[in-house]
Amino acid sequence: MNLLIVEDEKVLLDKYSDYLKEVFSSIRTARSKEDAFQLIEEHEFDVALIDYNLPDGKGLDILREYPKNGDAPVFIMLTAYSKERLAIECLNIGVYKYLEKPIDKKELIHTLIEAREEASNRDTIRSLKRKFTISERVANVLVEKYQISNRELEVLKSIIIHGKNKIVAEKLFISQGTVRNHLSNIFQKVHVNTKEQLNGLIEDLNSKN
């Protein structure tokens, strides 16, 4: 998991980095909005810990201007001000948590662990959505070109999304043996021998449709 910390005070920046080095595999730091966007252009982040007041703007500007072509990280906002309106503004714009300075080490670590878990959950959801989109996109081609039956298509879609036969069996309320039988028929119809080859075919069909 990759963390971005944006804090203009070097003492605090170093302190936060030290606190969180055991929580994240990679930590990059910036002391201004400009420096933060430079890092954002070069790296992908799962979580971002951002100070509200920066020398060249507001921390919320980073959320507002975050590139739309990528997956935004989980944002944690830091502020020295205790104002309800500010907290509401942060939450309305998509901030996951709002922390007031001075921040207790234990509270910071606990909050960032929660944010890391939230980032992992979002990644899982994005992956499932992508797989679902692929399964829907190639469905008609599989039926028309390879004469896949409706039940085989249902099994195949579940395989694309969930991967493992056991999970597919549970989702479709059938036995793992039935899943294997359907897969065997699918392999024969689309002229592949393994799941890896099947996934390659599906990716190829997806790229062409």
Kindly report the CATH number assigned to the domain that includes residue 170.
Answer: 1.10.10
Confidence of residue 112 (pLDDT cuts 50, 70, 90): very high
Is 86:113 a contact under the CB 8 Å cutoff? no
> Do 154 and 89 share a domain, yes or no?
no
Helices (H), 43-149: 59-64, 84-93, 105-146
Model confidence at 181: pLDDT above 80:
yes
pTM confidence score: 0.70
* Residue among 41, 61, 42 nearest 50 (CA): 61
Confidence of residue 77 (pLDDT cuts 50, 70, 90): very high
Q: Per-residue pLDDT tens for 133-150?
A: 888 888 878 888 888 898
Assigned domain for 110 exists: no
Assigned domain for 113 exists: no
Range of the domain at 77: 2-103
Average pLDDT, the chain: 88
Model confidence at 29: pLDDT above 80:
yes
Please name the residue that has the structure tokens 């001075």. 102
> Do 168 and 82 share a domain, yes or no?
no
> Do 156 and 67 share a domain, yes or no?
no
Rounded-to-integer distance, Cα 59 and Cα 86, Å:
12
Confidence of residue 69 (pLDDT cuts 50, 70, 90): low
Choose between 132 and 50: higher pLDDT.
50
